[in-house]
Amino acid sequence: MAKRTSKTSAKVAKKAADTTTTMEQRKSGSKDGKGGNSPSRLIDARIKELSGWRGETLARIRMLIKQADPEVVEEWKWRGVPVWEHDGIICTGETYKSIVKMTFAKGAALEDPSGLFNSSLEGNTRRAIDFHEGDKIDEKALKALIRAAVALNTSVRATAGLRRRN
């Protein structure tokens, strides 16, 4: 019986150590594309962990973001939220029981001619798209929205840089 307890204790200790290490690395927000717990690998793990339609949807969104902006930087913030950045946050990819939510940090400032935004419409800053099981993604419109968010981020950053120099 003692052997079984010590094996169980060892497993629990290892899991706790792994969790601590993972949380420390997640907090760092490392942009490093290499290593065991880089943001990209953590996103890979989240997609695999979700499986089913939510994992497929998050993977599809991620692929479209990378196609729309090959220079995008993946991050892992706020205790497990995939974040895509280019001169600031473009959007996040949150997963819930019945939706995959893509929140655009400056969505209220973006034109949305295709009407993709269907959530968080009342705020002054963010806008979101809630994807439900079986929803078809309008890839062309979503890529256009991502590119618009990148353009907004880069223009805001360029403008801020000019103001600081003057």
- Confidence band, pLDDT 50/70/90 cuts, at residue 79: confident
Q: Determine the pLDDT at residue 146.
A: 98
Could you report the per-residue pLDDT of 7-23, keeping only the tens digit for each? 443 443 344 344 333 33
Number of domains composing the chain: 2
Residues 37 and 15 in one domain: no
Mean pLDDT of 71-87: 95
Residues 101 and 63 in one domain: yes
Domain boundaries, position 75: 31-165
Residue 74 has pLDDT above 70, yes or no: yes
Residues 11 and 87 in one domain: no
Mean pLDDT of 136-162: 88
CB count, 10 Å around CB of 114?
12
Task: State the Cα–Cα distance between residues 11 and 43, nearest whole angstrom.
Answer: 25
CB count, 10 Å around CB of 55?
16
Could you report the per-residue pLDDT of 88-132, keeping only the tens digit for each? 999 999 999 999 999 999 999 999 999 999 999 998 999 999 999
**pTM more than 0.85:** no
Q: Determine the pLDDT at residue 24.
A: 33
Residues 134 and 106 in one domain: yes
Contact 79, 46 (CB under 8 A): no
Share of the chain above pLDDT 90, in %: 69
Q: Determine the pLDDT at residue 160.
A: 62
Residues 107 and 145 in one domain: yes
Residue 56 has pLDDT above 80, yes or no: yes
Q: Determine the pLDDT at residue 51.
A: 80
Query: What CATH number does residue 126 fall under?
Result: 3.90.1150.200
Q: Determine the pLDDT at residue 161.
A: 58
Residues 17 and 64 in one domain: no
Q: Strand, helix or coil at 31?
A: coil
CB count, 10 Å around CB of 17?
10
Mean pLDDT of 67-80: 95
Phi, psi of 90 (to 5 degrees): -85, -60
Residues 64 and 21 in one domain: no
